[in-house]
Every structure is written in structure tokens, then in C-alpha cells.
Amino acid sequence: MNCATVKWPDQSPVQVGRYIMQINMWNLKSASGSAEMSYCDGAFTYSQDLVDITEINSRSWVAGYPEVWIGYKPWAGLGTPGSPLPLTVSDVLKSDITIRVEYGVDVPDPSLPFDFAFDIWVTKTPNQRSVGPGEQEIMIWLYYQKLNPAGSQIGEVVIPISVNGKLVDAAFKVYKRPSMPWEYIAFVLDPPLRSASISFKLADFIKAASNATSLQNYNDMWVDDVEIGSEFGSPSTTAAAFKWTLKIEVG
């Protein structure tokens, strides 16, 4: 049995097989309560119950993003063994890399700002330690409540994905913010799914991002990683309790 657990306030990245899990409270100044992420035999579980939440920077809006990733995450300076990423955008567009997830989220408070989403970083070179102007963040929101992406909606796209074993033409609202200082593009599944088994070709979303981007020489840039987790909170949020389960396969 291959198992591991990390408990907040420990935010250390923990490698489990081909993936890394992290209780990433990047904008949380202080709180009381508990948060725990576990991995056992191919399944991730995250559970938190925090109160007295204070954020570091209210302009960043959410308090954190507890997550799992594969590939090289620029902000952490860490990669995972045996990952197909990083790859150039042009190579991803020619690839058959498929992302498969089986997940379920439980958010007892319907007023809690929350999303369960992928996060993908696209940079000028591989193995960077930060992201800046002229680079990109791509998000794919699967479930969300009381929370909107950054920027404004610029349109909608239809992307084929498999949902619970059935291939569907899924509708995604597209949001864009030109400078955070990097370019931000979010694909928001409409309607959201609280739990599902989903698979898709990474190339389909990178192609959609290439159609929406304002960046130059986009095909020469690098797709660094695939992350999935839950953004939560707002400047006025003082309590946040939720949990999720996840199985993921990228290849």
C-alpha cells in the first residue's frame, strides 16, 4: 500500500509516484482549524475546516489552491518523474496527451466562493522559477460556486470531452485578463459538474487558448505542467470547509 499524508500548516510539496500534492495556501496569512491532503493507492483526498481566515493580499481574492500536479510547476521549481511535460506548445498541439480525472467535491456552505479547476502554466522557457509578462496561465473550471474567473468573458467555445464514459461537445465560457502581469485565460464548464469522470485531449484546450491569446510566438512557448485543485475564499471569507476526492491520469 502506497500512502502519504500532509497536514496544514505544512505546505511542503510531497511527491507520490508521478504526481506532487501540496496544501498550497499561497494567500493565507492566518487561520484556525485543520486541513489535510492524503494519497493512497492512486486516490487523493483533501479535507479542510478553517475559521478565522485572514488573507495576505485581499486583491488576490482567493486564499489558496490545495492541489495536485504533474510536470514542472514554475512557482515551486519542482518537476515530477516520468511526466510528458514540459513540452512546447507546437509539440503539445501534435500530441495525443490525454488527461483523465475522476473527482467529487463536497462544499456544505453554498455561499462559499469555491472552484475545482485545472491550472496550466505556459512560459517562454522550461524550468523557470516564476511567471511574468508575456507568459500565460490557463484554467479549466469543472465545478464552481459564488466565484468568477479573473478578467471578463470574451466568448464561448465547444470542446469535445468524455463525461462519465460518453463523448460530448461541452460548452465552456471563455474569460481573459491580459495582464496579471501574465495573460490569464479560463475555460469555464457550463453547467458545472460537482462530480464526474472526465477525460480530454490537452491539445484541444491549448488550441483554444492559442485562438484566444494575444502573446507573440505562442507555438514556441512551453506548456509546463497540469495542476488540479480548489481555489477558495474571498476578502470577506472568514470560514471555509470543504473536501474532495480525486483520481488522475495524464499520458
* Torsion region of 58: left, alpha or beta (phi above 0 gives left; psi -120 to 50 gives alpha): alpha
Per DSSP, the residues of 89-153 read: HHHHHT---EEEEEEEEE-S-TTS-EEEEEEEEEESSSS-S---TT-EEEEEEEEEES---SSEE
The Cα 74–Cα 1 span in angstroms is: 31
pLDDT at residue 32 is higher than 70: yes
Q: Which of 183, 88, 72 is nearest to 136 (CA)?
A: 183
> pLDDT value at position 1?
62
Q: What is the pLDDT of residues 183-233, one digit of tens each?
A: 999 999 999 999 999 999 999 999 999 999 999 999 999 999 999 999 999
Q: What is the pLDDT of residues 53-98, one digit of tens each?
A: 999 999 999 999 999 999 999 999 999 999 999 999 999 999 999 9
Q: What is the pLDDT of residues 163-177, one digit of tens each?
A: 999 999 999 999 999
Topology, domain 3-250: Jelly Rolls (2.60.120)
> pLDDT value at position 158?
98
CA distances (Å), origin 242, targets 57, 62, 106, 196, 228: 22, 15, 6, 17, 16
Q: Which of 211, 136, 198 is nearest to 163 (CA)?
A: 198
2 pLDDT tier (thresholds 50, 70, 90): confident
Expressed in angstroms, the distance from the first to the final Cα of the chain is 23
**Beta carbons within 8 Å of 83's beta carbon, 6+ residues apart:** 18, 70, 71, 72, 225, 250
Q: What is the pLDDT of residues 100-141, one digit of tens each?
A: 999 999 999 999 999 999 999 999 999 999 999 999 999 999
Q: What is this structure's pTM?
A: 0.98
**CA angle, 178 then 183 then 188, to 5°:** 90
Maximum C-alpha span of the chain: 48
Q: What is the CA radius of gyration of the chain?
A: 17
> Are 68 and 228 in contact, with CB atoms under 8 Å apart?
yes
Domain extent listing, the chain: 3-250
